[in-house]
Each structure stands twice: as C-alpha cells, then as structure tokens.
Amino acid sequence: MTRIDFQTHPSRYRHWKLRFDGRVAELVMDVDPAGSLFEGVELKLNSYDLGVDIELADAVQRLRFEHPEVGAVVLRSAREGVFCAGANIRMLGRASHVHKVNFCKFTNETRMSIEDASANSGQSWLCAVNGTAAGGGYELVLTAEHIILVDDRRSGVSLPETPLLAVLPGTGGLTRLTDKRRVRRDLADLFCTTEEGVRGKRAVQWRLVDEVVPPSSFEATVQARARETAARSDRPADARGIVLGPLQRSFTDDAATYSHVRVALHRAGRRADITVLGPQAALPADLAGIHAAGDAFWPLLVARELDDAILHLRLNEPDLGVFVLRTEGDPLSVLAADALLEAHGSDWLVREMRHYLKRVLKRLDMTARSLIALIEPGSCFAGTLAELAFAADRSVMFSGRRSGDTHGPAAMFLSTLNFGACPMANGLTRLQTRFLGEPGSLAAALEKTGTALNAEAADEMSLVTQVFDEVDWDDEVRMLLEARASFSPDALTGMEANLRFAGPETMETRIFGRLTAWQNWIFQRANAVGETGALGRYGSGVKPDYDWRRT
C-alpha cells in the first residue's frame, strides 16, 4: 500500500457530504463502494475503511473551527434502509495486523473527538438512524448524544462481531454500552451475541437508542431535536470561522518536514527524531490578532503539524519503535502563546485551539511507541511544549553548557496550562499523573510557574527522569536509545500502556487500555484471521474452524 495521507478537504471527499441550515449541520454518510484504500475491496452497504474515517475526522475538525454558527450536527446516512454496515470485512481480512490495530485506534480517536465536541464545544451531535446500523456502524451511532431510530420494522442496531467474526467491536462499542448508555450487563451480553440485533421499542427499553419514531414523523422529529439542541449551544451564531488550509509539508525516504515540526528517520536505530519548533514570528497582540492569524496562529499550526506527523509515523513507519522528542526555540515565546490561550480561553476559537492541543497530546499518549524527551540547550520545553516531556516515558535533561554552543544551559518552564488545560485520558493532567503519590510535588511545581528551571532544579522537583552533563550526555543518551530499540516491541507496547495511565479509570482509558489491548491479541488468533478463521470464511457459506480451547 502506498503512503497513507491523513490530510484531505471537503472538495475531495468521496464518502461524506456536509450540509448546512443555519445553526444545524448534517453530515451524511454516502460511502463510495469503489473508494477503498485497498485495491479490489468494495465498500458495500456504507461499510468503511481508514479512508472513510480520515474524511470523517477532517469533517469533525472543520465543523469545530470553520463553522462557529453550528450548534448541532446530525449524523445520518444517504442510503435507503442502511445506516452503516461497520468496518469492511474484506478489508479487515486483507489488512496487516499493524494496519488493523492502528485503524481501530484512529477510529476510536475520531469518535472521541465527536464526543469531545458535544461535551466541550457547544456543538452537540445527534444521530438519525434510518436503517440497519451494525458493528462499527452502531459504534459510530453511539458517539452521538441523542439517537433517533426509525420504527419501520427493518431498521435496528447490532454489535454482531463476536458471533459472526470472532472479534470484538473495535471502536469502543462494548464500553460505550455499559459506561455511556448504562445498558444493563446481562442485556448487553444478550445484545452482543445476537446477530440480528434489536429494533423498535425494545431498543429504547434497553437504552440502545433514545427514541423510536414512525417513518411518517421521522424527518420532522430529527429536525425538531436538532433545532432544540442548537438553541442550547453557546457557540456564537454570528461569528466567522477560520479556514483550515493545507499543511505545508514534504516527505522523503528519511524525513518529514513541516514549517514547525521536523521528523528525521533513523532506520538503522529504529527511531524517529521529532523536533517541534517554538514560535518563529511575532505573536498576535490580542484576540482580534488571533482571529486574524487563523490557522497560522502558532499553537494551532504546530498542533496540526504534530498531529499529522504522529499519524504518518503510526501508519507509514511501523518499524520505528522509538520517538525522540526535542524542541527548539525561545521558551519565553511559548509562554507568551500560552498566556494568550489562557487570557482568551472563553472565546470560541481559542477554546477550540486549546481542545485541539489536548487531543493531539492524547494522540501522542496513545501512540504505541517509546517516547524519550531530550531537554538540551536551545530547547523550549515550556508550558504546552513541556507537556511533550511529561508525556514521555523517560525525559533526560542536559546540565550546564555544551562546549562551542552559544545557547545557555537548558531550562524548563511551567505555565498555567500545565495544570488543567490538557488532561489525559484518565481525566488528570500529566503532572497530576506524574505526582499521584506526591501531592506536595504538584503544589511545589505550581509555585514555580513561569520560573526558569535548570537541570538541577528540574531534577530536584522530579520533573525529569535523569540529568547528565556534557561528559556523560552522548554516551548515556546513545545507550538509552540503543537499549530501548533492542527490546521486544510487543512487550514495550504492553508495558508503556500500563504505566502511562495511572490513577482513575475512565471510559476512555477502558476503551484504549482494555479493548485495544484485547483486539490487538484477538486479531492475531487463528480463530479470527487464520486460513479457516471467521474473517477469512465470512460470506463463503462455510463455517469457521475454531480452536475451542480457552486460553
């Protein structure tokens, strides 16, 4: 498969249509059967592959940034009698294990961005189910805050993966049933082992949907609910959005280059060096300047570029198991950008920028690669960029000056945004997670907001893992990176996922930590993907041949 590109635009959509009517938008699923990323795979019945979800993710972003007037989004299908048949089975049968797992992770993240919009942006999503919603199709439905099902004796919802495919609902279906919809455990068990699913009033009784409506009043009810939802939104009806223009980037065999993110690929060392640059130009002076800058405003631009780089590395460079995180620039400029985000946090656009930064950092947290932060002279691990160091599995800081280098000693800075603006999946900030057993350390860090912290101070405050001076730096860093690249990638993925999300468990950590781990394992089992497994034999009329031993 050629390089997968995560950048798109509504003018290039093959699978979705956006419609606008004042405060209400409709996102209509109309999958092009011939539009699969996999040659020879037909996307029948609104089934989807990664390409369909790339467009969905783009639409979610554009609705949030380009359409402040929209307070409600109706998710629906253009197909008569079919909402969505879920992830395409032929695609799953042909995809590599790496692709399947990263596909499930990306679709999870996209669905959570929809829920984040409903929860935090005043742009609530509703779903109008006008046909069968099966598997991943119903998982997409579950992201909505309000679900309306047409009561036509044919339309219904189902999660048939276990009886039909020997796998699990891959984008959080099980967890959303119990944690979000509060479906009773035994009913959820019955639902997930019933191929034909549930329709009509029973779907409401089991809390699988919110209401069922006869065909004669379905459209009127959907429009009424959408208008009622939009009326409750705090998004400004008369504001102008900003255009999310194409990213300026280039790719070579050993690098990916953006305006503020540089990625160097070291294939022999199985690592990627990701360098994030601080602001290179003067920042806006006020809120009007932020709106005028639009997608060129540094916090938004650097977030979009880092997001694209992470996704590129996940899907297109699976052999590079270590991400080395670096920054370059003036830390005071980063703090100045943070101050703008803090001072104007009540503005709809600044709010969206802050939430996007949050989601990009979550994407980094969820990436199955070892994260090593190197804090060196000339770096700008300050405020929101310091979150990169706190997201890392290990952080190493240079003590003192480097011979022949005009930069002063490395320093870290904290801003107010480190203490609440960018929570992890566990609902805690990275500093709260870091200091779970040390509440005094968190309080001490808060007192040092805006203060330059050299290596010794950062080490004393437990903000970094290790500190080395010029004598030891090169050898210690080399040994760290070589050792990390030598471990089993499977073991590291499991270890890192267990250690990164300490503290309380949430629906989000359950979806990623549990379901993704189980799906990772199940997708390698012969019962699912073997020659006689369920995915390979689906639709052939021949029953799969299972190994019946429980393990």
| Count of structural domains within the chain | 2
Q: How confident is the prediction for the chain on average, in pLDDT?
A: 95
Give mean pLDDT, residues 365-371: 96
Structure tokens at 121: 């942006």
Q: What is the pLDDT of residues 109-136, one digit of tens each?
A: 999 999 999 999 999 999 999 999 999 9
Is pLDDT at 524 greater than 90 in this prediction? no
Tens of pLDDT, residue by residue over 223-252, are 999 999 999 999 999 999 999 999 999 999
Is 90 in the same domain as 201? yes
Instruction: Give the bridge partners for 273, in sequence order.
Output: 264, 324
Work out the number of other CB atoms within 10 angstroms of the CB of residue 43.
24
131-134/156-158 β-pairing: parallel
Nearest of 314, 326, 320, 318 to residue 271 by alpha carbon? 320
- CA distance to 5, 41, 550, per residue, from 547 (Å): 38, 28, 8
Note whether residue 549 is domain-resident.
Answer: no
**Statement to judge: residues 214 and 302 lie in one domain:** no
Asked if residue 519 has pLDDT above 90, the reply is no
Residue 208 and residue 274 share a domain:
no
- Is 497 within the bounds of a domain? no
Instruction: Provide, rounded to the nearest whole percent, the portion of the chain with pLDDT above 70.
Output: 100
Task: Establish if 457 belongs to a structural domain.
Answer: yes
The average pLDDT across 295-324 equals: 98
pLDDT at residue number 468: 98
Smallest CA-to-CA distance from 120 within 351, 365, 359 is with 351
Q: What is the mean pLDDT of residues 330-347?
A: 98
- Predicted TM-score of the model (pTM): 0.95
160 shares a domain with 295 = no
* Residue 339, domain extent: 250-492
Q: Do residue 222 and residue 254 come from a single domain?
A: no
Residue 550 sits at φ, ψ, to 5 deg, of -80, 135
Assess if residue 297 is contained within a domain: yes
CA angle 139, 145, 150 (to 5 degrees): 70
Mean pLDDT of 366-388: 97
Q: Same structural domain for residues 383 and 319?
A: yes
pLDDT at 171 over 90: no
We report the CATH number of the domain holding residue 262 as 3.90.226.10
Q: How far apart are CA 321 and CA 334, in angstroms?
A: 29
Q: Say if residues 257 and 308 touch (Cβ distance below 8 Å).
A: no
Looking at 445, 475, 492, the residue that finishes a domain is 492
- What is the token pair recorded at 256? 């990916």
**DSSP alpha helices (H): ranges in 427-522?**
430-434, 439-447, 455-460, 470-486, 489-500, 507-509, 516-522
Residue 275 has pLDDT above 80, yes or no: yes
Query: 137 is written with which tokens?
Result: 């199709």
Domain presence at residue 504? no
In a domain, 515, yes or no: no
Q: What is the largest CA-CA distance in the chain?
A: 78
Q: Which residues contact 107 (CB under 8 A, 6 or more apart)?
A: 50, 53, 87, 136, 170, 171
Kindly state whether residue 203 falls inside one of the protein's structural domains.
yes
* Residue 513 reports pLDDT greater than 90: no
pLDDT at 287 over 90: yes
pLDDT at 451: 97
| 130, 157: one domain | yes
Cβ pair 1, 38 in contact under 8 A: yes
Alpha carbon 241 to its chain's center: 23
Confirm if 341 and 401 have CB atoms less than 8 A apart: no
Q: Are residues 312 and 225 in the same domain?
A: no
The reply to whether 213 and 269 lie within a common domain is: no
Angle subtended at Cα 212 by Cα 209 and Cα 216, rounded to the nearest 5 degrees: 150
* Residue that terminates a domain, selected from 185, 204, 231: 231
What tokens were used for 248?
């300026």
Question: Phi and psi at residue 88, in whole multiples of 5°?
Answer: -65, 125
Assign 182 a pLDDT band (cuts: 50, 70, 90): very high
Q: Is 207 left (phi over 0), alpha (psi -120 to 50) or beta?
A: left
Residue 318: is its pLDDT beyond 90? yes
pLDDT tens digits, 400-458: 999 999 999 999 999 999 999 999 999 999 999 999 989 899 999 999 999 999 999 99
The torsion angles phi and psi of 411, rounded to 5 degrees, stand at -145, 145
How many whole angstroms separate alpha carbon 115 and alpha carbon 124? 8
Question: Of 449, 467, 492, which marks where a domain is finished?
Answer: 492
Distance CA 473, CA 456 (A): 15
208 shares a domain with 312 = no
Whether residue 259 sits in one domain with residue 216: no
Q: Is residue 263 part of a domain?
A: yes
Same domain, 438 and 289: yes
Confidence of residue 539 (pLDDT cuts 50, 70, 90): confident
